[in-house]
Amino acid sequence: MSMPPSVMLPIREVSRVTGVNAVTLRAWERRYGLITPHRTGKGHRLYTEENVQQIQDILTWLGRGVAVGQVKELLHAPQPVDE
């Protein structure tokens, strides 16, 4: 999914695009600090394309059997390049 840099998506749209429900996205933000969406003046979450990519990366790690509590350190670790 590619969108202009200025486009930000509400949580319901990110949930639809990624297949991750809104409750889970909120938990990943609050409990695990995995994603940090922008907030509107009224506190609504808005996600950038970078946030959506982070969610895809989280799903990849979870799919490999990594516990959600261990994903944060992996997201920020340098990744080996497949040659």
Distance CA 51, CA 58 (A): 10
Q: Are 53 and 46 in contact (CB under 8 A)?
A: no
Q: What is the mean pLDDT of residues 71-79?
A: 84
Q: Each residue of 6-60: pLDDT tens digit?
A: 789 999 999 999 999 999 999 999 999 999 999 999 999 999 999 999 999 999 9
DSSP annotation of 42 reads: T
Distance CA 57, CA 71 (A): 9
pLDDT of 80 reads: 63
